[in-house]
Structure 1
Amino acid sequence: MAKKEDFISLFESIEDMACLLDEHWAIYSLDKDFAYFILLPNPVSSYNIINHQFLWQTYYEDALKIAKMPYKRFLTWSKLFEKNKNPPPTVMIQTSARSGSTLFGAMLHHEGYSVVYGEPPIFSVLVVGYVTKYWDEKVRTKGL
């Protein structure tokens, strides 16, 4: 499961949260205190299931920088992000690992029509956290 200990990080600078809107930044993980983002060498949209079957592995290997944002600020920021974007109709299908999901995802991925991402690490964090009761009511409403 993705976590902050995956990387050795050194403080470089403080940046405006708007930099995370760049298409090279992806959310990597969450914990009770912070949201973690990684800077990738290519736009996030290029990390589809055809090019990268398992995002958790690719994200870890390709990360150039890591940024963290306090959890409370992340909740506020994500609501603003949602209001400022007009995403296309979206369907999310989450399958368990080793279930044929890569083959299924590759069949659903059609350039220009649909994009499929294979095993994004943030989904594993959310699911495992939910099952283990890590994301209890106190954490889910923190900052609301």
Structure 2
Amino acid sequence: MSSNPAGGPAAVSGPGTAERMGIKPQMIVMEFGSDEDIDQELRTAIEQLTGEEIVGEDSDEVVDVVLLWYRDGDGDLADLLVDAIAPLADDGFIWLLTPKRGRDDYVEPSDVTEAAAIAGLSQTSITTAGPHWSAARLVGRKARGSKR
């Protein structure tokens, strides 16, 4: 298969979004919190970019990235973040996807910051992940020496 040359209209959550999110070929991506309301275009773009299917939260693989779809009312965010850390490789990261401001089940940024701190994570960036979702990149604190 060959890539479509640039010049076509860009999808709101197309390949450019996956690349902006730091997704690279051959990365293993796990998904938590999938439901009917997630951004299917983003999922497809990630799978096309990585060349791998997104694995479910029941997988026992070590993964490079976790996509955590979270809506207000989905349970304790800090607990979910701790669960999402478990399968991550040492240099892995989490993209916490929450509904954009003004959407149903919107999550306050202060709630994200508090839950991330409780889980031992730091927020490094925020991006738009589609027409209905915002994404916060969360990483573990690098206090434990160098990776081998």
User: TM exceeds 0.5?
Assistant: no
Structure having greater relative contact order (Cα 8 Å, sep ≥ 6): 1
More strand by share: 2
